[in-house]
Amino acid sequence: MRRLFCSLPLLALGACGAPAPAPVKARTTFYADGKPWSEIHYDLGRPNGAWTTWHANGQKASLGEYDDGALAGHWQRWYADGQRASDANYRAGMLDGRYDEFWPSGKPHSHGSYREGKAEGLWTEWDRQGRKLLEGRYQGGEREGIWTGWDPDSGEVRGYAVYAKGQIVTGEARKAALDAAGLK
């Protein structure tokens, strides 16, 4: 009997308290003219699930996912004319995996990868006409090793830069690195 008597006040407190808020499934926001600007899925007040935005002209601007409030999975962005602007991958809110950016013309701007939010591995950049401008490697988010630059008009190698832990290498150390790679 004593156990039941002690439990009754606890039950009464729970019954009198405010009900737990129901999770919001989706929230849509609009431009002043009534066109949708965004649709965001929430779970217990945190973004969780699909997130879509649109440009004022109705073209999709971005599409991605949230996982418990953090960017996750594949995210895409588009320019207002519908041309792809970027493809990126996220894990736990950080860039992680393949990353591609595009010029408004649709030609590639940059290609590379991220690991836990830091640039990693081979990266390549192009100009608006699609001509390769620069290529080199990142390690832990910093430029590393030999980076090659091209002349956009001739396509000829313009020169090399040597990096160590994000710092440009000069003098004899630069010469030794280029010699070891068979470059002048």
Tens-place pLDDT, residues 97-134: 999 999 999 999 999 999 999 999 999 999 999 999 99
Same domain for 159 and 107? yes
Pairwise CA distance, residues 62 & 36, whole Å = 13
Phi, psi of 24 (to 5 degrees): -80, 130
**Is the confidence at residue 136, as pLDDT, over 50?**
yes
CA 184 to chain centre: 36
Count of CB atoms situated within 10 Å of the CB of 162: 22
- What domain range is 139 assigned to? 98-184
Domain membership flag for residue 93: no
Q: Which two tokens stand for residue 69?
A: 């409030």
CB 52 within 8 A of CB 39: yes
| Number of domains forming the structure of the chain | 2
Domain membership flag for residue 89: no
Same domain for 132 and 157? yes
Query: What pTM did the predictor assign?
Result: 0.81
Same domain for 78 and 108? no
Same domain for 44 and 113? no
Domain membership flag for residue 28: yes
Same domain for 172 and 130? yes
Domain membership flag for residue 16: no
Higher pLDDT, 45 or 172: 172
Domain boundary among the residues 33, 50, 82 is at: 82
CATH number for position 123 = 2.20.110
